[in-house]
Amino acid sequence: METHHDMKIISLSIGIAFLIGAFAVAFADPYLPASISNAKKGYQAGFDAAKTLVENSSLGSFFQTPADVRMLSGTVTAINGNRITFHIQSTNPFDDPTLADRVASIDASTAITMQTRKDQKTYQAGISALVQVHTVAASTTAAIISPFVTTSASISDIKVGTSVNVSAAENIRSLGEFTASAIQIIPPIRMSI
């Protein structure tokens, strides 16, 4: 539990970090390359320069969004007839923030499925049987036992707050709206203590 003293230290640390950042920005402006016009100097120029540095560094591959994106995961924020709005959490800090909320239309060809958790005993029995088969056969191949059962679902099973995987037949990397070819309803994560 955080005490009042801990909160003061956290607030002070945030304030110091902000001041250091402001100081760095104020003194970095004159040193920006001459190729950057005065109109482009400032925050955007610094952001663009930082983005270029990161993308060209050894870490750049971690932040690059694939050119062809056909599936997105997110949380449903609204349902309007046959259209769902869902919010995605990008791991790329340079992705377009206006694409954090997407709209997927559902038509007659959209396959909607729901994953539900297997009960613990059934899941453990499957793992035990797999281990026994592979031990007896001395096989080096591994099979995957899923902790989920996938069943058919409908749009009425999709609720606000539901986690979904939404797939499309086209590249949806930069599309705010598209028609979903498949929607998979994901069960909430259970935290066991």
Predicted structure pTM score: 0.64
Q: Where are the beta strands (DSSP E) in the chain?
A: 71-80, 83-87, 101-105, 111-117, 148-152, 163-167, 177-179, 182-186
Q: For residues 86 and 173, state if they share a domain.
A: yes
Percent of the chain predicted with pLDDT > 90: 39
Q: For residues 59 and 74, state if they share a domain.
A: no
Helix (H), strand (E) at residue 126 = helix 120-137
Q: pLDDT, tens digit, for every residue of 38-95?
A: 545 677 777 777 777 777 777 666 667 778 999 999 999 999 999 999 999 877 777 8
Q: Would the pLDDT of 168 be above 80?
A: yes
Q: Would the pLDDT of 193 be above 60?
A: no
Q: For residues 118 and 191, state if they share a domain.
A: yes
Residue 185 · residue 153 · CB < 8 Å: yes
How far is it, in rounded angstroms, from Cα 180 to Cα 131? 38
Q: Would the pLDDT of 96 be above 60?
A: yes
For residue 190, the one-letter residue type is: R
Q: Would the pLDDT of 25 be above 60?
A: no
- Give the SS3 label for residue 185: strand
- pLDDT band, very low/low/confident/very high, at 23 (cuts 50, 70, 90): low
Split into its structural domains, the chain has a count of: 2
Q: For residues 44 and 74, state if they share a domain.
A: no
Q: For residues 170 and 116, state if they share a domain.
A: yes
Q: For residues 54 and 105, state if they share a domain.
A: no
Q: Would the pLDDT of 136 be above 80?
A: no
Q: Which residues contact 97 (CB under 8 A, 6 or more apart)?
A: none
Helix (H), strand (E) at residue 133 = helix 120-137
**Among the three residues 43, 63, 83, which one is the final residue of a domain in this structure?**
63
Nearest alpha-carbon partner for 85 in 189, 186, 177 = 177
**Among the three residues 63, 98, 114, which one is the final residue of a domain in this structure?**
63
Taking the alpha carbons at both ends of the chain, their separation in whole angstroms is 18
Q: For residues 109 and 173, state if they share a domain.
A: yes
pLDDT number for residue 24: 59
Q: pLDDT, tens digit, for every residue of 116-134?
A: 888 777 767 777 777 766 5
Identify the domain containing residue 98 by its residue range.
67-193
β-sheet bridge partners, residue 149:
116
**Among the three residues 37, 63, 89, which one is the final residue of a domain in this structure?**
63
Residue 53 · residue 32 · CB < 8 Å: no
Q: For residues 171 and 80, state if they share a domain.
A: yes
Q: For residues 106 and 20, state if they share a domain.
A: no
For residue 113, the one-letter residue type is: T
Classify burial at 165, counting beta carbons within 10 Å of its beta carbon; exposed 0-12, middle 13-18, buried 19 or more: middle
Q: For residues 58 and 75, state if they share a domain.
A: no
pLDDT number for residue 7: 62
